Chains A and B, each alone.
Chain A
Amino acid sequence: MKEAIGLSEATILDERKRQVHRTGQGELDLACNTDSLAGAVSQRACVFCGSRVVLYPIADALHLVHGPIGCAVYTWDIRGALSSGPELHRLSFSTDLKEKDVIFGGEKKLEAALNELIDRHQPKAAFVYSTCIVGLIGDDLEAVCRRVGEAKGIPVLPVQSEGFKGNKREGYKAACNAMWKLVGTAPIDDIPPLSVNILGDFNLAGEIWMVREYFQRMGVNVVANVTGDGRVHDIRRSHGAKLNLVQCSGATMDLAKMMKDEYGIPFIRVSYLGIEDMADSLYQVADFFQDQDPTIVERTAELVRSELSQLMPKLAELRKDLEGKRVAIYVGGAFKAFSLLKAFRHLGMQVVLVGSQTGTKEDYEELERITDPGTIIVDDANPLELSAFIKEKGVDLFVGGVKERPIAYKLGLGFCDHNHERKIALAGFEGMYNFAKEVHLSATSPVWRFVPRREQTPLEVTHG
């Protein structure tokens, strides 16, 4: 074991040593929310990515990427964010800047592209994403957007998402700033008193529909989805909601804070992943509205009871095969990791590694509090570190995204995709079952018996 720890340590670049911690071993003083280290092969993307993931699911808006083709093409229809209506978000629009645009400026092209695309698609709003190059050549995005917006009569919103201006978190902020310009621009007279906005759910595989159904059963109305299955008009009147529910660590928190400051709308942090967090989120909402609707708490309790009575026996069945298996978690936002930790406890599985791309100091303190001693906590990890940690901890199953999957598979571990590209709904009580089932299907596959890390015994050959 000592040797394995030594090997892991050797994999960590000196500059990154402060971004790795082991629960219970010394004071937690994790360096985080810093720029990624050059040459470290971070799993993080950029500011543009942060903005793009947050705004992407707004289905009736035009999403125009102002820059060379790469930024648009790598983000074309890659997420499982579903829409119940228009699907404009699934197309990839770019100004496709060329060398002469870089020299002479891209404003004219941007304006022409906006006019062309707005005429063609008649969107309810347009988001114009700035990329690295635009930040350098100094195009006046604000002015172009204002001009086109006035001419076309729709909001045309610049998103200041130049890739190099920080990490993904900056991108979340830029996205919130863009959405903020929509909030408060439509009438709210018909919004009922028991009403919320859902922030930070992206309707992957239809998850927001599941959550909305719970609220419907509780008698709570949803004004705006921010942004899963999102609509421009809903966001414009989202200031009419009485409460904001904020999921996902960083993505939409800035918007919730702005709405609190400007409109006095309180927010609570919620999570729809896992049993406790899902139930707790519903109870928090019920508690908030109980003065106005004294029966809401009872209705909510009934909902949770009925869902759990169906779920728990099914989970117990799966747990039998999973008990004691060791799990590694590496995700984008740390908040998701909290919920996953609890979810794995229900399956009897032991989390031995947990990390995130964009966790904050508070996030990591919370992780240290809820993880078992010796658990590796890591910020902004890279493939070499992750592979060494996997080896050291004897991990059986990895939870992560596209970039982590081949590392796990190469070494012969089970894998659960918990990224924005997944097609399986993992939220809510039903999602907890889907999650458990996916983990079970992977972890119990016979293929692990044939991978090199397991000893192979050839089938016996008998003499006939």
Chain B
Amino acid sequence: MAESYVSTTNACKLCTPLGAALAFKGVQGAVPFLHGSQGCATYMRRYVISHFREPVDIASSALGEKHAVYGGGPNLKQGILNVMKKYSPALVGVASTCLTETIGDDVPMLLAEFRREFSDLNPPELVHVSTPSYMGTHTDGWRNTVLSLTRQLCTETSQANETVNVFPTLCSCEDLRIFKAMFREYGLTPVILPDYSDTLDGPALAEYEPIPAGGTPIAAIKAMSGATASLDLGRCLPKDTAGADLETRFGVDNLRLGMPMGLRESDAMHHALSRISGKDMPKHIVQQRGRLVDALVDGHKYVSGARAVVYGEEDLVAGLASFLTEVGIDVVLAATGSEKCGLDSAVREVTEDLGRVETEVRMGVDFHEIAERAGQLKPDLLVGHSKGYRYAREWNIPLVRVGFPVHDRFGAQRIATLGYTGAQQMFDRIVNAVLDKRQADSPVGYGYQ
């Protein structure tokens, strides 16, 4: 693979402000606001809506040509005022874009001015994050937003409380609900940031809600300094994270562990919860785990030795590689669009001593490169989001849909991947994808397998 590409074909990443908008959607009463041209907000809304099938309002400062010359400050302020008038938000999350970063708008200064100029209107919390699309991916946008939220909102030492801060990477609404259930089992109260389990998967309504109910309460974010511990989830995290920041500033014990995907990562999570709560694993979780192991045994021969290519966000890929290797699938390629994100060492950590093949890890790649390499590796299975479908179709192999976006299947917000129950569902789906393919390819068409 000596060839070095200049262009990108069918990218395996999204842009930074999208990650910011998603993270802001998980804060109670928040309206995400992109400081840039109107198109950014609209494109991202369309992209996110197609996955969650929910209203996703993202405001924009809708900059035009003259603002690009004279600065976007006036539009930013007018935009926030208009959002205040119609949405009465508790928080406006302002993310920059390549346009406003390049013209040099000083967003923190503009927001400080805004607070002064309109102090009589009792402005909402204004949190800003720098997200030029030419730096990093949506994963960076997500993380920087979470860090900005804790940095800018949690500024004082709170009274010690019994809560646990949880900072997950991008996952489904169902996964967030799994987190909550997991904590409940140990009598712990998590403060998950962000938490869009309700805001992006809400009930049918008689009255339209300008801002959907749910999300992490702002007061809870402010009180994170008093938490018992923080869980910083993901094996590809940078040094600066919300958990590390709270530890440095307030001494909140920060535990770093992978997203709980598959058996061992879920074990680690439960171990941490057990340690924090001082309680043993509850009986019915022991049962859940037992059923999962039982299922892995029952199903192992269907998938054993199947060759899989996984792709997507670095931490999702690391988690999938871990889980797939556990069940005996050979992960021949693990790929992400993120550059220099530590996926190589993360995959090594979770697969060594377990996998039968060494997983090839590629970072900073697009689907053109993934496909070129996968064409040589001859996979039996793709695991990742919808955008790999054209390749699965071309190679006539199943695609098991996980991650973001899922634009070609129904129920993306309810796909479970985390904990023992998530692993169970994922395993069922993978085994059935293999069986489905085997059945479809068979000239006999057995009705039992």
Contacts and interface: CB of A to CB of B under 8 A. Distances in A.
Interface in A163-195: 163-167
Contacts of B41: 41
From B65, B75, B135, name the one whose CB has the most chain A CB atoms within 10 angstroms: B65
B237 interface: no
B399 interface: no
A132 B57 contact: no
Interface in B34-64: 36-47, 49-50, 53-64
B99 A163 contact: yes
From B36, B85, B97, B133, name the one whose CB has the most chain A CB atoms within 10 angstroms: B133
Contacts of B205: 410-412, 452
A93 B17 CA distance: 20
A72 B15 CA distance: 10
A411 to B, nearest CB: 6
A46 B37 CA distance: 7
Contact of B76 (A38, A167, A407): A38
Given A70-B15, A70-B17, A95-B8, A403 B42 contact: yes
Given A35-B64, A38-B62, A99-B135, A48 B39 contact: yes
A411 B210 CA distance: 12
B11 A403 contact: no
B442 interface: no
Nearest to A111: B6
Interface residues of A, number: 75
Interface in B407-426: none
Given A68-B134, A384-B86, A94 B7 contact: yes
A92 B55 contact: no
A102 B38 CA distance: 21
Interface in A135-168: 135-137, 163-167
A73 B13 contact: yes
Contact of B133 (A70, A113, A164, A452): A70
A136 B103 contact: yes
Chain B interface residue count: which class?
35 or more
A93 to B, nearest CB: 6
Given A70-B15, A411-B205, A45 B49 contact: no
Interface in B162-179: none
Contact of B86 (A11, A72, A96, A166): A11
B9 interface: yes
B306 to A, nearest CB: 28
A113 B132 contact: no
Contacts of A99: 132, 134-135
A47 interface: yes
A13 interface: yes
B46 A402 contact: yes
Given A95-B8, A383-B57, A132 B99 contact: yes
A277 to B, nearest CB: 28
Given A73-B15, A407-B208, 14 more contacts: A35-B62, A38-B82, A39-B82, A40-B62, A41-B58, A68-B132, A74-B43, A74-B46, A90-B390, A101-B134, A112-B7, A117-B7, A164-B36, A387-B208
